[in-house]
Chain A
Amino acid sequence: MKGLLLKDLYLAARYCRAFLILEIVFLTVAFFGKANVFFIVYPTLVAGILPMSLLSYDERDKWNQYCETLPCSRAQVVSVKYIIGLLFSGVTWLISMTATVVRMVLFDSFSIRELLFWGEILLVLGVIGPMLLLPFVFKLGVEKGRILFYVMIGLLCAISVVVNSVGLQTSIASGNPLLLTIIAAAGILLYLLSWRLSIMFYKQREL
């Protein structure tokens, strides 16, 4: 498993440099641009989807087949992508949160409620990409998985319209502690469920 992780870190260092630049530019704009939501949220969302990019490189290079000749189980192959997803999202989340705190202290009044709100939103956005995408990719391969992902995004947008209409968004924004806890717990649970599902799908797949 350590070997697999190391391989993904080498690949990330080589292919994900553009993401690092995007992260710096977006956070700088968010920092000085008076809290433009898009610039805070987007890097976290992209960081979550990086495991998917690594999987597409694996398929292109036929690493997924080569991996089958190495002493690694399919569960380990899947787990590494989920761990990498957490790692990238976690680091991006930390940077974004630090920037938010500094911005609040320097330019606005510091609000723990607002900080909690942003922390939660960014956390959920960080895990939502791999959580939704990876089971499809491990079952169907990168190309077909990507199409299904877009269908899921469409469904999510529909759900968000419903959430908005019943006033839940206002409740989250106001920092309702119970609701925030429920969302965080559901996020963790769904991430673990997605992990388990991906292992199950990948074990059944013929390579």
Chain B
Amino acid sequence: MNALEISNLSKKYDGFYLDHLNLTLPQGCVLGLVGENGAGKSTTMKLILDMIRRDSGSITVLGKDNQKHLQSLKQDLGVVLDEVGIPACLTAKQVGKIMRHTFDRWNDAVYASYLQKFSLPTDKPFKELSRGMKMKLGLAVALSHDPKMLLLDEATSGLDPVIRDEVIDIFSEFTREESHSILISSHIVSDLEKICDYIAFLHKGKLLLCEEKDRLTEQYGILQCSQAELMQVNEKAIIGKKLSPYGAQALVRRDRIGPGWSVRQVSIEEIFIFMVKENG
């Protein structure tokens, strides 16, 4: 079963159009949504949660239509948005009491263990916590009701590198169970690279690609050469290029470039930048 199936999803705003998005996240996997600001990542998350009305298309979460079974589905979802949304005056202790009466499978012991793991004070009001701590409290809530799927919208932004690494480990631990899946969007592509099985590139509301992460790095590579040399490369192999007085750098398809060229390993971030910025 797929944890998430999005087909032909469209949403139009003034100056923005999410254009017939198709995405599939197999159960037990992590899908990373990469895109610049305004690419449509948060809009996609909001549409999955039915916070905004879609113009067309359908969304299935954990095998159920997201509009027909919204409330029961949310028992199985752990969500962290870019702004956590916990009332400023509430303490972690009070948040725990509220969630105990909100989620059917809320587990006080698990929540307490996350608070301890994240070194979160139980009696400090939310407004007095740092951005990183706020995010960690949001994560603790999202993980303490036995969710089957996590929806994380920029959940690692604002965290320092050490904590980010810790959080990434927690996500990896979460997906060890076969029925657990994660949809995560982030600007920090290196974080996605660490945990994602699939990567989707969104640009100005359009899906540029959705591919297994390992296949992406196998399929593409970076060619560094002179501008004159680049002219001799099969045009169909070049996805994007960056020219400078010192030479040329191009994102190329390994299967189309032919023999004799030295192509180095590419990172996901480089693929995205070349596709969006240096395309053509």
A residues whose Cβ falls under 8 Å from a Cβ of B: 2-4, 6-7, 10-11, 14-15, 57-58, 60-73, 206-207
A sample of 5 cross-chain residue pairs with beta-carbon separation below 8 angstroms, ordered by A number, consists of A10-B89, A61-B88, A70-B74, A73-B70, A73-B71
Chain B residues with CB under 8 A of A14: 89
Chain A residues with CB under 8 A of B79: 69
Please tell me which one of the listed residues A61, A64, A71, A206 contacts residue B102 in the complex, with CB atoms under 8 A apart.
Answer: A71
Bound complex: CA A123 to CA B189 (Å) = 58
In contact, A69 and B97 (Cβ under 8 angstroms):
no
A71's nearest neighbour on chain B, judged by CB, is B74
B86 at the interface (CB under 8 A from A): yes
In contact, A3 and B102 (Cβ under 8 angstroms):
yes
Chain A residues with CB under 8 A of B151: 69
Please tell me which one of the listed residues A6, A7, A63, A207 contacts residue B51 in the complex, with CB atoms under 8 A apart.
Answer: A207
In contact, A68 and B49 (Cβ under 8 angstroms):
yes
Distance in angstroms from B125 CB to nearest chain A CB is: 9
Known A-B contacts A62-B85, A63-B87; A71 and B98 likewise in contact (beta carbons under 8 Å): no
Distance in angstroms from A111 CB to nearest chain B CB is: 44
Chain B residues with CB under 8 A of A70: 74, 102-103
In contact, B102 and A72 (Cβ under 8 angstroms):
yes
Bound complex: CA A69 to CA B150 (Å) = 11
In contact, A69 and B49 (Cβ under 8 angstroms):
yes
Chain B residues with CB under 8 A of A11: 87, 89-90
Known A-B contacts A65-B51, A69-B77; A3 and B85 likewise in contact (beta carbons under 8 Å): no
Report the count of interface residues on B (CB-CB < 8 A): 32
Distance in angstroms from A10 CB to nearest chain B CB is: 5
Distance in angstroms from B84 CB to nearest chain A CB is: 7
Chain A residues with CB under 8 A of B99: 3
- Is the contact region of chain A dominated by helix, strand, or loop, or is it mixed? helix
A73's nearest neighbour on chain B, judged by CB, is B71
In contact, B86 and A66 (Cβ under 8 angstroms):
yes
A7's nearest neighbour on chain B, judged by CB, is B98
Bound complex: CA A206 to CA B13 (Å) = 12
Bound complex: CA A64 to CA B87 (Å) = 10
Q: Which of A10, A63, A69, A207 has the most CB of B within 10 A?
A: A69
Known A-B contacts A63-B85, A70-B102; A206 and B72 likewise in contact (beta carbons under 8 Å): no
Please tell me which one of the listed residues B51, B83, B86 contacts residue A206 in the complex, with CB atoms under 8 A apart.
Answer: B51
In contact, A69 and B88 (Cβ under 8 angstroms):
no
B277 at the interface (CB under 8 A from A): no
In contact, B87 and A7 (Cβ under 8 angstroms):
yes
Chain B residues with CB under 8 A of A72: 71, 74, 102
Bound complex: CA A64 to CA B89 (Å) = 15
In contact, A61 and B52 (Cβ under 8 angstroms):
no
Bound complex: CA A61 to CA B86 (Å) = 7
B53 at the interface (CB under 8 A from A): yes
Bound complex: CA A58 to CA B99 (Å) = 16
Bound complex: CA A3 to CA B87 (Å) = 13
Known A-B contacts A11-B89, A15-B89, A61-B86; A71 and B97 likewise in contact (beta carbons under 8 Å): no
Chain B residues with CB under 8 A of A57: 87-88
B113 at the interface (CB under 8 A from A): no
Distance in angstroms from A16 CB to nearest chain B CB is: 11
In contact, A71 and B49 (Cβ under 8 angstroms):
no
B6 at the interface (CB under 8 A from A): no
Chain B residues with CB under 8 A of A4: 98, 102
B window 44-95: CB within 8 A of A:
46, 49-53, 70-72, 74-75, 77, 79, 81, 83-90, 94
Q: Which 7 pairs of residues, A with B, have the shortest CB-CB distance?
A: A66-B85, A3-B102, A69-B79, A3-B101, A2-B101, A71-B74, A62-B85
Bound complex: CA A65 to CA B84 (Å) = 9
Bound complex: CA A58 to CA B85 (Å) = 9
Bound complex: CA A70 to CA B78 (Å) = 9
